[in-house]
Amino acid sequence: MAPKRCAYLTMEDADGWSIDADLAFPSMEALGWEIAAMPWRKPGTNWDQFDAVYIGTPWDYPEDPGHFMSLLESIDRSRAILVNDLNLVRWSMSKTYLRDLEAKGAAIVPSLWYDDMTPGVIDQAFEAHRTPKIIIKPVVSTNATDTFLLTRVQARELERELATTFRNRPFVVQPFIENIQLEGEYSLFYFSCKFSHATRKVPKPGDFRVQEEHGADLMSVVPEQALLDTGERVMGLVNPMPVYARADFVRGPDGRFLVMELEMIEPSMYLRMDPEAPQRFAKAFDQYVANATTGGQQ
């Protein structure tokens, strides 16, 4: 039987990034897949030569989201099955999906949404959130790029930089949840909406960013039942079902777990943190493509 061909979308230069998605490749190969790494910016690729395209680690796409989405649309028009589903990717590319989740009943970190940095916006956000510190970040971003943690004094000092960074660029303002520096951020990982494993990430002292690239500590954890229940409720609000997803939570001041991110485009899934995770991912991927190819239930 001829192998099934999968294109693994990645960056042209992955130096400095913590990537372990390749840990799933042996399990995928055992299921008959042949994997080819494809930089997403490489022009002229014939996507019809592949049976599926896995949106792996194209983590520089926020530099040109329009180009990236155009590429995914062209893949979706080919014979290859795009994983995750294009509509799901389009919805989750902007952090405004959090607003949709909140409207459906999910508890998110309180958020104010803006399309442009205009005079008075920062003061308005401090007043609305009633907090000494705020977080400002673009609605399309990865790896905490152009993310600011600010007091009122710092906001005034960086007024010109903020105006330049967010000119004609939609962004979200949230209260800073102090617990992120104490307990950290929890991530729950799902394959075909089934819980797989969990991690906790704690920023390095004096920082607030939870990415490994910024020096955060990462550990495998067994999540408490309240967190698992919250994750299950949030994933139940997503349609269509993602093949793979990472849900990030922080414990709020009242003890509830609040959604920080729900990543379904190209999440780092920390497969190295659970020895069975690579196989779970491979099985979910393989079954999804098989169903999509035959027109079965996904």
pLDDT digit string, tens, across residues 85-95: 999 999 999 99
pLDDT at 296 over 80: no
Q: Are 252 and 179 in contact (CB under 8 A)?
A: yes
pLDDT at 2 over 80: no
Q: Are 6 and 53 in contact (CB under 8 A)?
A: yes
1 — pLDDT class (breaks 50, 70, 90): low
Prediction pTM value = 0.92
139 — pLDDT class (breaks 50, 70, 90): very high
pLDDT at 213 over 80: no
pLDDT tens per residue across span 16-58: 788 899 999 999 999 999 999 999 999 999 999 999 999 999 9
pLDDT at 219 over 80: yes
Q: What tokens appear for 240 in the block? A: 């269509």
Beta bridge partners of 79: none
In this prediction, residue 141 carries a pLDDT of 84
Q: What is the mean pLDDT of residues 225-234?
A: 98
Q: Are 82 and 293 in contact (CB under 8 A)?
A: no
pLDDT tens per residue across span 58-68: 999 988 999 99
158 — pLDDT class (breaks 50, 70, 90): very high
For residue 246, which phi and psi values (nearest 5 degrees)?
A: -125, 125
> Which DSSP category does 140 fall into?
S
Percent of the chain clearing pLDDT 90 (strictly above): 83
pLDDT at 297 over 70: no
pLDDT at 295 over 50: yes
Question: How much is the CA Rg of the chain, to the nearest whole Å?
Answer: 20
Q: How far apart are CA 64 and CA 66, in angstroms?
A: 6
* Mean pLDDT taken over the chain: 93
Count Cβ atoms below 10 Å from residue 287 Cβ, excluding itself.
16
pLDDT at 298 over 50: no
In this prediction, residue 294 carries a pLDDT of 85
Q: Find the helix or strand (DSSP H, E) in which 1 lies.
A: none
CB contact set of 193 (below 8 Å; sequence gap of 6+): 235, 236, 238, 241, 242, 245
Burial of 31 per CB tally in 10 Å (0-12, 13-18, 19+): middle
Beta strand extents in 139-184 (DSSP E only) = 148-150, 171-175
> Which DSSP category does 192 fall into?
T
pLDDT at 209 over 80: no
